[in-house]
Amino acid sequence: MCGGLGNGTLDHYLPKDDYPEYSFFSKNLVPACSCNSLRRKAVKGVVSPSRAIHPYFDDFLSDRLYQAVFKGQFDTPGISIEIIDGNHPQKDILRYHLDEVISNDGTQGWFEKYWSSLSDRPHDMLELVLPCGPQNLTGSELKAALNRYRNSKDKEYQTPNNWYSIFYTGLMSDNDRLDQLATKINQLRQPIT
Ligand SMILES: [Zn+2]
């Protein structure tokens, strides 16, 4: 439901307290983590058609819908998740799903922690992703490597809206931050003398 990486449980799309008749209806049981209990009973907004995305019925979930946006300094940026296409035909649903399901402390914590690890030791985190060193890596070479990595995460999780894909899609559109990250990788890859 939120794009998180643990999906070990099934939970109710229509909350069972309000819709007990659907408690055991298979299409009402969707893969989710704690995000689903965090949304409590939110299913639809005040104004139609805003509602949560349904993973079995909403075919636009195969589109890339969300990306991370990084603002501010390199070490501790502000990170938010935003809708990629503000003119998407389902933009009201995307907004509702972002506000009510995706955006919560668990999601925010994962993005901040992941950036913290990545910015601290990118050469280790991306060892299998980067072209073999130790030659100098440019920002555009880093972007090409991250693009392949992001696409592999789309396939691994069978959705372009998993947290890794959201994270790297946003990072790839931030050329300044990519350049800084490439510089850091080059420094850290220097052999210790
Ligand atoms: Zn979740």
pLDDT tens for 89-119 read 999 999 999 999 999 999 999 999 999 999 9
Q: pLDDT grade, residue 192 (50/70/90)? A: low
Q: Is residue 7 predicted with pLDDT exceeding 70?
A: no
CA of 109 to the centre of ligand 1 (A): 13
Lowest-pLDDT range of 4-8, 72-76, 111-115, 121-125: 4-8
Q: How far is the CA of 181 from the centre of ligand 1 (A)?
A: 29
Q: Are 153 and 168 in contact (CB under 8 A)?
A: yes
Q: Alpha helices, DSSP H only, in the chain?
A: 35-38, 91-97, 105-120, 122-125, 139-157, 163-172, 175-189
Q: Could you tell me which of 65, 16, 53, 21 has the C-alpha nearest to residue 37? A: 16
Give the pLDDT confidence score for residue 191 in this predicted structure: 67
Distance 154 CA to ligand 1 centre (A): 16
d(CA 100, CA 94): 10
Confirm if 163 and 4 have CB atoms less than 8 A apart. yes
φ, ψ for residue 12 (rounded to 5)? -85, 130
Tell me the C-alpha distance between 116 and 49, whole Å.
37
Q: How far is the CA of 34 from the centre of ligand 1 (A)?
A: 6
Q: 66 CA distance to ligand 1 centroid (A)?
A: 15
Ligand 1 midpoint to CA 165 (Å): 15
Torsion region of 66: left, alpha or beta (phi above 0 gives left; psi -120 to 50 gives alpha): beta
Which H or E run contains 80? strand 78-83
How many angstroms is it from 148 CA to the middle of ligand 1? 25
CA of 35 to the centre of ligand 1 (A): 4
Ligand 1 centroid–CA 182 distance in Å is 31
Residues 53-94 have pLDDT tens digits of: 998 999 999 999 999 999 999 999 999 999 999 999 999 999
Looking at per-residue pLDDT, the higher value among 50 and 144 belongs to 144
User: Residue 193: what pLDDT?
Assistant: 58
Ligand 1 mean position, distance from CA 5 (Å)? 8
End-to-end CA distance of the chain: 49
**Cβ-Cβ contacts under 8 Å for 43 (sequence gap 6 or more):** 13, 14, 15, 18, 51, 52
Mean local confidence (pLDDT), 27-50: 81
> Looking at residues 5-13, what average pLDDT do you find?
82
DSSP H helices, 30-85, are 35-38
Ligand 1 centroid vs 77 CA: distance in angstroms?
23
